Structure 1
Amino acid sequence: MVVNMVEFEIRERDLLARIGKLKTKSGTIETPAFLPVINPVKELVTPLELWENFNCRVLITNAYIVKKHFGEEAKRKGIHKILKYPGVIMTDSGAYQILVYGSLDVTNREIIRYQEEISTDIATILDLPTGWNVSMEYARYTVEETLRRARELEDARARADIIWVGPIQGGRYIDLVAFSAKEMGKLPFDIHALGSPTPVMEQYLFDILVDMIATAKMNSPLERPFHLFGAGHPMMFSLAVALGCDLFDSAAYSLFARENRYLTDYGTIRLEDIKYFPCSCPVCMKYSPTDLMEMPGDRRERELSKHNLYVCFAEIKRVKQAIVEGRLWEYLEMKAHSHPSLLKALRRLQKYSEYIERNSPFVKRKGLFFFGPIDFIRPEVLRHNKRLKERYSPPDRSKVLILVPDSELKDTRRRKYVKKIVLKASKVLGLDLNAIHVCFYSPPFGIIPIELSETYPLYQYEYAYPPDAETVKYVAERILEYIAAAPYVKIIILMEKGSWSERLVDLVVKESHEREIEAEILPLDAHSLKLKKN
């Protein structure tokens, strides 16, 4: 048995995304990486062009097609010389052809040996794709057959310098995806890949794609790189990366070009509907939409393919920069509003929010931006509220809680301001200063104890004030949860009339009476710091 331990070094993280270095025998590639699919028989954009003009350092081609058309020649020369490409080459085994044609005239062991003989860098076993509109019985068969073939690799492989991919099947049957991932994770593969997502993406069922990717990731070894077969459109790259996909391939750049479809990072436009190119790539700077429409078909297809590639590679760079800045969630929100199905997918992350929180960085280089209710499922918000419940206790002498509304500029958190508030409250209500504990209430975190108010990320963020009704209700719920669990004997909530805090207090008072929590409201003039007892 030959075993290869892949070298995968993670440099940056955000959510489940990671920027890493994956070492292969033909060079080291940076992830997340987009792998253009190259048809070795019909190259609209040549591999050498990808290397020289697109800075593409890794691509994918089909080992079965190479075998059918180049056979012994590819074994003699090697796949790199056949494609005239100096970078890293990944080969698919021909499984997609099984999905299209039903079967292949090659066995798993034969395609394993052939990939070694042509000296590919990253190879794939001949898995059996589940597909989409299939019964659970057939889906289970594809999972079990793929696992059987996966186990053949241990004694079928002869080289230790090739990275092997273990595909995860199951399709829309999430329990089968989980089982497939667990069993595949027990085998000595270097990379795992999710199979059969193409029909899901073609129908824009991105919420189901979230289920498939998240389930596969949660049940496979986290330290292994993860590949998404047939990732398709750049508009969903950020979503795939945020869920932990390190590599993904796509032939959409050429397939769409064949149908005069122009890719953008926010959707697809038919060439005949474009008056102005919303892009500054070399193709769009050189030609007008009319120029492309008037070109001969083959040339137009090639130029559109090049544009589509530029869009894909540019999107990967934007996603990477968002990871470096710690702003991938904000980027996801922006992308989600480019199509309803993406917003639906972003909301689906709530189902996996605890897993994402556990594996997300605790500190980032920059502060955070919050825009609305969707941010309640962000790792930072979930982590704060979880730790507040499980790890935080008010100071021992605290008997009276004063809740101070936060402001857009956080000026209510200034020490002088808080000191004046406490002194005035103690005078108006006759309270012992040493028994007072101050907390701020603020979207989206809810309750922020004063002693934590300058720690990351409870100060290093901005929120789009004023909060909407759903956010106000959410903050009110966090206040009620905190009060119910705390040992205070008296609760005082400061309120600025005419502001969002007035709406919040109405909710808190109503709910506190129903829950038998005593809370006193003090109107606050933010400018004069004048407190009045109701």
Structure 2
Amino acid sequence: MFEIKKRDGLARIGEFTTPSGTVETPAIMPVINPNFELISTEKLKEEFDIQVLITNSYIIYQSEELKEEALEEGIHSMLDFSGPIMTDSGTFQSHVYGDVVVEPEEILSFQKKIGSDISTILDEFTEPDETELDAEKKMEKTVQRAKKAKEEFAGKEGHTAFPIQGSVYPHLRERCGELMKELDGDFYPIGGVVPLMEDYKFSELVKVIVSSKKGLGAKGPVHLFGAGHPMIYSLAVLLGCDLFDSSSYAKYAKRGDLMYPEGTKNLSDLEHLGCECPVCTSHTTEELKDLSEDKREELLAEHNLWISRKEMEKVKQSIVEGTLWELVERRVRGHPELLKTLKVLDDRYEYLEKFEPRSRKRALFDTGSETYWRPAIKRIQDWIMSEYEPPADGPTILFEMDQDKKPYNRHLREELGSMEDHELNYLVETPIGPVPLEMDEIYPVAQSIFSSDKMPEKLLTRYKERKDIDNMIRWEGKKTLDSLSQPHQEGISFDEMKIKTTADYQFCKEAGKVLTDGTLEFVKNNKGRIKNVMLDGEHILSVRHYDGFFTLKKPGAQILWAKLSSPKMRIEVTDESAKFNSEGKNVFAKFVTEMSGELRPGDEAIVVTQDDEIAATARVFLTKEEVQAFKRGLAARTREGFET
């Protein structure tokens, strides 16, 4: 069973339960060669805190001595490791040597007999240069083997891995994922990708991962076969990969290579190690070079494993902080081919956006021009260009301000007050493009730091074209004020603009109108910032200080529930769950019967019964796609219940 505990977009910290224990993901699985122990399994567990191992069942099966030992004692006793162990089937040996002679049923049955926690079917490795027809045939053969394995081993202890194949053809990868998802498995490796990584074809790798994930949906965990270099961990985790097997730590050590998150360096080229792992802090480069070949190989392997483990810890912490995109943008600069992957992600914005939260608790940091491709920025740009409707019929006043004036409207209170009785719209130039001034306190407009204040001029031109604006006035102080026409008595207040536009962006298009239909009052702090919003005397919204968005209060939820048609903003649950949710208890995935596909992680939502009776307000944790995939775990955190 797999359960998501923390997340940042598609990236997730999860718990994967096996017969031999629970693994916290994302995690690395060191490859253990049953014929040669470079680092003892005891050391891996005690010093490196390794939770899960992977070994090759075909190598064991081919050796009479190892085979007998594994069958008699079990794989855990044989490897002297009590934690979860995954076994591969020999597919990669077939790819490398072409000499695997074993029946698919035979090797899978063997893995089950020796007590593997995660057994792998013998899939058909699809090479990057396969013809589409050959790749499709191999993919279909892999799916047929998975179906047979599902039938034969249903109900047996342990998990069975169903690899996703399809070469570099996105539609084949996606189709394979869909077919494997239908089998309702519980472990999904993405196979056939080692040649892509060896040839630095990282853009193709990203396309393969995304296509496979689209087919699988949110099923997991997802294992990226053969991904053992720390330079790709952050990128692969960003795309929703959970487990990584690593023989690279040993292979690279054998040829004298040290792995780093930025790339690989050979010991012969180094005068300084530049590393704080136990190996590097206790040896100089010269001391390592003077060691015997075997001892040097062992220590370099330990360095590589330390670096891999440390990088995965950084990835996890970035998920907790909500800063994984920034880590990825730094890491991909380690190689030009890695940097190109960010453009591939930009082309897949519509898929990534579904899992992207509307805000994060930490500010968005600009790391380079590629930052503008992030879903968090593209989403608000797209919404402003396509969905935003200027609230007034009059001219648009354009402000140009420095970033250190964020939020911009607080430095314009006097000016806004003098213009409030005019029919005006307000726009401010920002590094992410033109932004309606009433949106300047929300994420990521206020909660971001860019290296330049300059706004691309093409974005302003596009905005004017999209909104059909022919009367835009650049603010020049009193001169601009004097040029305006006579004031109107019914001009919309800036505070009301802020509520309507923010609600439309955060909740849905109609929300702003229904939440301002009445007498509005505002509770402000001593700096003039809105804290609470009252409608006809009822507290409907509170403003979150860290991102400028709203927390939905019960009266506000009731208004939205009454005015918005189902399934907008709704999480529908069983009657049994609704009773507990109305008492303030959280919403769990297995009790969700329907959910709006527009809800994103972190969104405010309304929990309802199957008869659409309101039960609670909640904050979304899983998307609709994820709820449908998981049988356990949190779906939404309840804020307030409507006790019945």
TM range (shorter): 0.7 to 0.9
Q: CA RMSD in A?
A: 2.0
Q: Distance in 1 between matches of 2:469 and 2:277?
A: 62
- Listed one character per residue, the Cα deviations across residues 174-197 of structure 1 (whole Å, up to 9, x for unaligned) are 332222222222212112111111
Report the secondary structure of 2:12's partner residue. Answer: strand
1:122-521 equivalent positions in 2, closer than 5 A: 122-157=118-153, 159-395=155-391, 397-411=392-406, 413-420=408-415, 423=418, 433-444=421-432, 446-467=433-454, 472-473=455-456, 476-486=457-467, 490-494=471-475
Partner of 1:513: none
| 1:252-273, Cα deviation, whole Å (9 max, x unpaired) | 1000111011111111111111
Which of 25, 37, 47 is matched with 2:31 structurally? Answer: 37
Quick one: distance in 1 between partners of 2:353 and 2:279?
41
- The CA distance in 1 between the partners of 2:421 and 2:402, in whole Å, is 24
Paired residue secondary structure (2:340): helix
TM-score of the superposition, structure 2-length normalised?
Answer: 0.71
State the 1:158 CA deviation.
5.6
- Separation in 2 of the partners of 1:344 and 1:411? 32
Equivalent residue letter for 1:464: S
**SS of the counterpart of 1:458?**
coil
Report the TM-score when normalising by structure 1. 0.85
2:40 to 22, 36, 46: 46
Task: Assess if the C-alpha contact under 8 Å between 2:2 and 2:14 holds in 1.
Answer: yes
1:23 has 2:17 as partner? yes
CA distance in 2: counterparts of 1:403 and 1:372, whole angstroms: 26
Letter in 2 for 1:440: V
Higher relative contact order at CA 8 Å, sep ≥6: structure 1 or structure 2?
1
How far apart, CA to CA, are the structure 2 residues paired with 1:418 and 1:398? 21
Q: Does the CA-based 8 Å contact 2:121-2:161 persist in structure 1?
A: yes
Whole-Å separation in 1 of the counterparts to 2:142 and 2:48: 35
Q: String of CA shifts for 1:418-437, please: whole Å, max 9, x gaps.
A: 533774xx6xxxxx842122
Code of the residue aligned with 2:76 in structure 1: it is H
Secondary structure at 2:274's aligned position in 1? coil
Q: What is the DSSP-based 3-state SS (H/G/I as helix, E as strand, rest coil) of the residue aligned with 2:54?
A: strand
Distance change >3 Å, CA 406–CA 128, structure 1 → 2:
same
**Percent identity of the aligned residues?**
37
C-alpha distance in structure 2 between counterparts of 1:19 and 1:77, whole Å? 33
Q: Which residue of 2 aligns with 1:502?
A: none
- The counterpart of 1:106, out of the listed 102, 106, 109, is 102
Q: 1:352 to 1:411 in 2, by over 3 A?
A: closer
Q: Which structure 1 segments of 5+ residues have no match? A: 1-6, 427-431, 497-534
Q: Distance in 2 between matches of 1:63 and 1:368?
A: 46
Partner of residue 529, structure 1 = none
In the TM superposition, structure 1's runs of 4+ consecutive aligned residues that sit over 4 Å from their partners are none
Cα deviation code 1:148-206 (max 9, x no counterpart): 21111122216533112111112223332222222222212112111111111011111
* Deviation, structure 1 residue 316: 0.3
**1:104-156 deviation line (CA, Å, top 9, x unaligned):** 22211111211111111111111011123333333222112111211111222
Aligned 8 A contact 1:227 1:248 in 2: yes
Q: CA deviation at 1:75?
A: 1.9
Output one character per residue of 1:32-70: Cα deviation in whole Å (capped at 9) or x when no partner: 111111111111012111100100001111111122232
| Cα offsets for 1:314-368 (capped at 9, x unmatched) | 1101111111111111111111222111111122211211211111122222111
Given that residues 399 and 488 in structure 1 are in contact (C-alpha distance below 8 angstroms), is that contact kept between their aligned partners in structure 2? Answer: no
What residue in structure 2 maps to residue 511 of structure 1?
A: none
Higher helix share: 1
| The 10-residue stretch of structure 1 (384-393 or 187-196) with the greater mean CA deviation from structure 2 | 384-393
CA–CA separation in structure 2 for the residues paired with 1:212 and 1:111: 27
**One-letter code aligned to 1:463:** F
Work out the number of aligned pairs and report it.
Answer: 475
Give the secondary structure class of the aligned counterpart of 1:60.
strand
Look up the SS of the partner of 1:156 in the other structure: helix
Structure 1 residue 417, shift from structure 2 partner = 2.5
Is 1:406–1:412's contact at 8 Å kept on the other side of the alignment? no
Gapped regions of structure 2 (runs ≥ 5) = 478-644
TM-superposed CA distance for 1:389, in Å, is 4.0
Whether 2:81 is the aligned partner of 1:85: answer yes
Q: Distance in 2 between matches of 1:57 and 1:412?
A: 46
